[in-house]
């Protein structure tokens, strides 16, 4: 089947120890592609959980995607096989057999090699790990001179700094070459500019409308209060109808719309300054009655989920890491006793 003609879906699998910047960079590149007109459905399969005792629950995997990205830590524990990891390997195998593009990113390359998917194939890796992986996985032809290397329907990406290249290579392989150029330009622009987060701008309050200025002051000083048109009108000593008319005439929007914009503006500010804060707490601090209320308003105003901006905020916090692709332990060579080899699951 021609993968370029299938309904385009991409799944990003994150395994224990993955670096957040890799995942966010891939999602950002795919998001830019969608904004450039590429019809693509993106899902995340997060398996970055602590090891559990006893049998692992059945992994709820999405359907077989058009493209599958695998992100993992550079050096995870090789002493025991994690049951969830085995299920992830089976999912990768099903994708390969179905003709999907599978891309290992950073430690995801080691995951593919560990489970035998790179046996007899060429793969790329960072220079610091080249000697170690050649020794550990001699059946793979390791090359350190390529950012992204494709062998059949399997791609390998050297590391964190080339995660965007991995996403662009997959988009190109799916037949979206015209969009790749636009996505590349947008990513370069984003890299050179401060973090570009959505802004819920509220129109300026005219000085000739003291009632509106008092409303704006109340919303700014008490953002968590459950304001309504009625409570705002009573607080500034006007009727609801009169307050609605003032907003329509002066600002071109209703009271509720202005209130939502103020709450969203505060939510954006909270997320940017506290990216690790839960969405429930963000909703509380911004005056939304619930996380669901925040999500609905966010999707309506920005066309995306707040979780995407939360990850973008984390991306901005970690962007300084992009100046170095040297994890604290990446230069260490795994001991031979810790090596585990699995037979290749995919058949030619």
The answer as to whether 338 is a domain residue is: no
Q: Using the Cα atoms of residue 317, residue 331, residue 142 and residue 101 in order, give the sign of their dihedral.
A: negative
Domains of the chain: total: 2
Q: Which helix (H) or strand (E) holds 262?
A: helix 255-273
Rg (CA), the chain: 25
Q: Are residues 180 and 284 in the same domain?
A: no
Residue with tokens 């390791």: 142
Give 234-291 pLDDT, tens digit per residue: 888 888 888 888 887 777 778 888 888 888 888 888 877 776 778 888 888 888 888 8
The answer as to whether 254 is a domain residue is: yes
Q: Are residues 137 and 230 in the same domain?
A: no
Given a contact cutoff of 8 angstroms between Cβ atoms, the answer to whether 263 and 193 are in contact is no
Q: Which domain holds residue 284?
A: 210-303
Last residue of a domain, one of 171, 195, 219: 195
Distance CA 345, CA 98 (A): 13
The pLDDT value recorded for residue 67 is 93
Give the CA-trace dihedral at 169, 40, 84, 123, to 10 degrees. Answer: -10
Is residue 9 helix, strand or coil? strand
The answer as to whether 309 is a domain residue is: no
Is residue 30 helix, strand or coil? helix
The answer as to whether 47 is a domain residue is: yes
Q: Are residues 173 and 248 in the same domain?
A: no
The answer as to whether 291 is a domain residue is: yes
In terms of Cβ atoms closer than 10 Å to its own Cβ (0-12, 13-18, 19+), residue 89 is buried
Relative to beta strand 9-14, strand 122-124 is unpaired
The pLDDT value recorded for residue 182 is 83
Relative to beta strand 141-143, strand 122-124 is parallel
Residue 235 sits in a domain whose CATH number is: 1.10.10.60
Q: How many CB atoms lie within 10 A of CB 82?
A: 17
Q: Are residues 160 and 217 in the same domain?
A: no
The pLDDT value recorded for residue 62 is 72
Last residue of a domain, one of 135, 163, 195: 195
Q: Are residues 180 and 227 in the same domain?
A: no
Q: Are residues 111 and 170 in the same domain?
A: yes
Q: Are residues 129 and 168 in the same domain?
A: yes
Q: Are residues 219 and 161 in the same domain?
A: no
Distance CA 272, CA 200 (A): 13
Residue 86 sits in a domain whose CATH number is: 3.40.50.880
Which phi and psi (to 5°) does residue 186 adopt? -65, -40
Using alpha carbons, select from 30, 154, 16, 152 the residue that is nearest to residue 74: 16
Last residue of a domain, one of 143, 168, 195: 195
The answer as to whether 117 is a domain residue is: yes
Q: What is the pTM of this model?
A: 0.53
The answer as to whether 31 is a domain residue is: yes
Give 175-190 pLDDT, tens digit per residue: 888 888 888 877 766 5
Tell me which residues of the chain have a pLDDT lower than 70. Answer: 1-7, 17-21, 48-61, 73-82, 159-161, 188-208, 275, 303-304, 308-348
Quote the tokens at residue 342: 């699995």
Q: Are residues 183 and 149 in the same domain?
A: yes
Given a contact cutoff of 8 angstroms between Cβ atoms, the answer to whether 83 and 51 are in contact is no
The pLDDT value recorded for residue 78 is 47
Q: Are residues 190 and 219 in the same domain?
A: no
* Residues linked to residue 249 through DSSP beta bridges, in sequence order: none
Q: Are residues 131 and 264 in the same domain?
A: no
The answer as to whether 330 is a domain residue is: no
Distance CA 89, CA 98 (A): 14
Distance CA 198, CA 212 (A): 25
Relative to beta strand 148-151, strand 154-157 is antiparallel
The pLDDT value recorded for residue 313 is 55
Q: Are residues 75 and 28 in the same domain?
A: yes
Strands (E), 19-161: 41-46, 67-72, 101-106, 122-124, 141-143, 148-151, 154-157
């Amino acid at each position: 089947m021609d993968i370029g003609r299938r309904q385009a879906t991409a799944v990003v699998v994150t395994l224990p120890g993955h670096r957040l910047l890799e995942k966010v960079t891939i999602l950002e590149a795919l998001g830019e592609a969608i904004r450039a007109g590429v019809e693509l459905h993106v899902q995340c399969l997060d398996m970055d959980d602590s090891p559990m005792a006893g049998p692992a629950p059945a992994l709820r995997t999405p359907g077989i995607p058009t493209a599958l990205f695998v992100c993992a830590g550079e050096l995870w524990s090789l002493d025991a096989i994690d049951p969830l990891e085995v299920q992830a390997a089976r999912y990768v195998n099903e994708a390969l057999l179905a003709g999907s593009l599978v891309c290992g990113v950073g430690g995801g390359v080691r995951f593919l090699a560990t489970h035998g998917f790179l046996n007899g194939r060429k793969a790329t890796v960072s220079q610091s790990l080249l000697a170690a992986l050649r020794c550990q996985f001699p059946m793979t032809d390791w090359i350190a001179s390529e950012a992204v290397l494709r062998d059949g329907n399997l791609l390998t990406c050297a590391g964190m700094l080339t995660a965007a290249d991995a996403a662009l290579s997959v988009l190109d392989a799916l037949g979206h070459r015209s969009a790749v150029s636009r996505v590349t330009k947008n990513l370069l622009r984003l890299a050179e500019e401060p973090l570009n987060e959505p802004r819920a701008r509220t129109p300026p309050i005219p000085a000739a409308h003291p009632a509106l200025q008092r409303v704006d002051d109340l919303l700014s000083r008490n953002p968590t209060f459950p304001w309504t048109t009625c409570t705002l009108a009573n607080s500034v000593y006007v009727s609801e109808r009169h307050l609605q008319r003032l907003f329509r005439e002066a600002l071109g929007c209703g009271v509720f719309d202005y209130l939502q914009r103020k709450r969203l503006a505060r939510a954006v500010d909270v997320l940017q300054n506290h990216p690790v804060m839960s969405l429930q707490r963000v909703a509380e601090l911004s005056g939304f009655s619930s996380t669901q209320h925040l999500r609905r308003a966010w999707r309506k105003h920005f066309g995306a989920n707040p979780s995407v901006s939360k990850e973008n905020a984390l991306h901005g916090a970690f962007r300084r890491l992009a100046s170095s692709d040297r994890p604290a332990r990446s230069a260490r060579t795994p001991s031979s006793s810790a090596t585990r080899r699995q037979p290749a699951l995919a058949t030619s």
